[in-house]
A and B are shown apart, each in its own frame.
Chain A
Amino acid sequence: MHGFLAKAFDPASLQKFRRAPLPRSYTDYLGRQIFLLLLTVQGLAAFALITLGVILKKSSVARGVIQPRIRQELNRAGVSLMPMFIFLALALGFLVIGQTVAALARVGATDYLGSTMVIVVVRELGPLITAFLVLARVGAANVIELGTARALGEVEALEALGIDPVHYLIVPRVIGMTLGVFALTIYLILGALASGCLFAFLANVPLTPGDYLRQIADALDWLDFVLLALKAMAFGFFIAIVTCYHGLAQPLRIEDVSRVAVRAVSQGIIVCVLIDAVFIVLYLVA
């Protein structure tokens, strides 16, 4: 039993297990899916811990190589996405304020505009939309780049040079994406709140910018800032972990890359939703 499990948890065996013929009975099929899910969760957790270990242990190793790589990843998962996020922030502010003002004005409850914006934009839509967009734009590219590098043997080339692939390929991506998602979330929220204010002004809503900002400030709690920061960084960290894990942690052939990219994006979405659910519980408990 021990040998079987050891073999099953080995990435090469996992590939074979995944490609094995479809079982005839539904219970066998369900069992296989549950087993695969557990293996993936175990693999992701191990990969996340290894990455954290390397970040801590090698913080002073090869700074001249790793720091420019972090800046490069931060640019890719942050700065270069700014134009798209400015557009999105404008659209989000207009949509949410437009719909909310129309709905609240009907019941005479425009005083709740600030708290609605905080709940919808600050707590939920801002971080979640940022996470999904970064996952689609950068996470998918991560899997393809790393998967191709893995399939072409670049990982072995790094090991032959005595360079830890996790340190060189993964750490910059994880740090870059964690900081990138955090920064983009803040910009998206600020942009959406500002464009909401602009809409209220343009649409002649009976709400002064001062009242609007005061309502938002009143609705914001210190916990919002703490949990928002933690949530945004958790999204960035886990998107990077999921996409890097699928791209790098298993032996791949070049024809596997597209299939693995689709799987990584799907799992990235699920992980983001699960993290969001955890934070909803935290908000409710706190």
Chain B
Amino acid sequence: MNEEGVHPVIEMRGVQVAALGDPLLIVLANVNWSVLPGEFWVVAGPQHSGKSDLLMQAAGLMATVNGTCRVFGRDTREFDETQITERQRLGLVFADGKLFNRLTIAENVALPLRYHKEFSDEETARIVEELLELLELTPYASLMPGNVASVWRQRAALARALALKPELLLLDNPNGGLIMRHRQWLVNFLDQLWHGHEFFGGRPMTIVATTDDLHPWQNSPRKFAALHEGHFTVLGAWGSNEFASNHIVKELLAEAAEMEKR
């Protein structure tokens, strides 16, 4: 609990983050971070700086090497099948979507509903249909992920993560490889989720997104953090002194400007 008496959604104290593929390799040291309900965090860092690993740690997919990582007040070490209700409060979108290749787009989105909820087939189909429509995925519903462009696979992964109406949404580099139109759509959509989308009952969602391109997030009232050479730094709001003077921010913005020119 912080000074205002609010329980953080994510709380990391002295956490050492290991690589997902190699638990012996430490990629981030001494992470101290609190995400409060209703906050929108953007964690920036160059490629291979440990963004995905930090997100996997926050999602409880990795055992904590050192320190304490709590999500919804629960230590992620306890985040096994006995904490299935807590797990459903959290949605995770992987960088490459990680859709199930043997299921269609609609079946991918329906899977968490069919597994966790006791809805009838008609009710599940209705929710999936609405969700697909919301994310403009209706034309791709019956296609296999391999037959769909990566941008739609990414959106289907977002739809799947949203199927259980989570309170916390974690997105790993959601803008990666997107063209301007899709980037703009995504940022707007995430803003709607953040402020409370009517599909999700108007409840504001807590969002954490990682990125290696700060350009789409500029001039927004979100909170920022940066990763560089194994260190996690909280930067605060866009344009704050800490943000403006951070060399990773400068590098990423310069890269984005160069890309823009090309």
Which residues of A are at the interface with B, using a C-beta cutoff of 8 A?
12, 62, 64-65, 145, 149, 152-154, 156-157, 159-164, 168, 251
- Residues on B with C-beta less than 8 A from A164 are 81
Tell me whether A160 and B92 are in contact in the complex, defined as CB-CB below 8 angstroms, given that A65-B111, A152-B101 are known contacts. Answer: yes
Task: Determine whether the beta carbon of A12 is less than 8 Å from that of B22.
Answer: yes
Query: What is the CA–CA distance of A62 and B102 in the complex, to the nearest angstrom?
Result: 19
Task: Determine whether the beta carbon of A156 is less than 8 Å from that of B98.
Answer: yes
- Specify the chain B residue showing the minimal Cβ separation from A54: B81
Partner of B94, one of A62, A64, A145, A157: A157
Partner of A156, one of B24, B56, B116, B160: B56
4 more contacts with CB within 8 A, not counting A64-B121, A157-B100, A168-B115, are: A64-B114, A65-B115, A152-B98, A154-B101
Count of inter-chain pairs, beta carbons less than 8 A:
55
Partner of A163, one of B102, B112, B121: B112
- Residues on B with C-beta less than 8 A from A157 are 94, 98-100
- Residues on B with C-beta less than 8 A from A154 are 98, 100-101
Partner of A161, one of B81, B101, B160: B160
- Residues on B with C-beta less than 8 A from A145 are 102
Query: What is the CA–CA distance of A152 and B153 in the complex, to the nearest angstrom?
Result: 14
- Residues on A with C-beta less than 8 A from B88 are 162
Interface of A is mostly: helix
Task: Determine whether the beta carbon of A153 is less than 8 Å from that of B111.
Answer: no
- Residues on A with C-beta less than 8 A from B121 are 64
Size class of the contact patch on chain B = 20 to 34
- Residues on A with C-beta less than 8 A from B164 are 161-162
Q: How far is the CB of A58 from chain B (nearest CB, A)?
A: 9
Task: Determine whether the beta carbon of A156 is less than 8 Å from that of B94.
Answer: yes
Judge if B23 is at the interface, Cβ distance under 8 Å: yes
Judge if B20 is at the interface, Cβ distance under 8 Å: yes
Task: Determine whether the beta carbon of B84 is less than 8 Å from that of A162.
Answer: yes
Query: What is the CA–CA distance of A164 and B20 in the complex, to the nearest angstrom?
Result: 18
Judge if B42 is at the interface, Cβ distance under 8 Å: no
Q: How far is the CB of B103 from chain A (nearest CB, A)?
A: 10
Query: What is the CA–CA distance of A19 and B234 in the complex, to the nearest angstrom?
Result: 40
Judge if B139 is at the interface, Cβ distance under 8 Å: no
Mind listing 12 A-B residue pairs with CB under 8 Å?
Answer: A62-B114, A65-B114, A153-B98, A154-B98, A156-B56, A160-B161, A161-B111, A162-B87, A162-B88, A162-B115, A163-B111, A163-B115
Query: What is the CA–CA distance of A164 and B121 in the complex, to the nearest angstrom?
Result: 22
- Specify the chain A residue showing the minimal Cβ separation from B124: A64
- Residues on B with C-beta less than 8 A from A149 are 100-101
Query: What is the CA–CA distance of A60 and B115 in the complex, to the nearest angstrom?
Result: 11
Partner of B112, one of A64, A162, A251: A162
Task: Determine whether the beta carbon of A162 is less than 8 Å from that of B116.
Answer: yes
Query: What is the CA–CA distance of A162 and B111 in the complex, to the nearest angstrom?
Result: 11
Q: How far is the CB of B225 from chain A (nearest CB, A)?
A: 21
- Specify the chain B residue showing the minimal Cβ separation from A164: B81
Judge if B143 is at the interface, Cβ distance under 8 Å: no
Judge if B21 is at the interface, Cβ distance under 8 Å: yes
Q: How far is the CB of A190 from chain B (nearest CB, A)?
A: 34
Judge if B59 is at the interface, Cβ distance under 8 Å: yes
Judge if B1 is at the interface, Cβ distance under 8 Å: no
- Specify the chain B residue showing the minimal Cβ separation from A158: B100
- Residues on B with C-beta less than 8 A from A251 are 21
- Residues on B with C-beta less than 8 A from A156 are 20, 56, 61, 94, 98
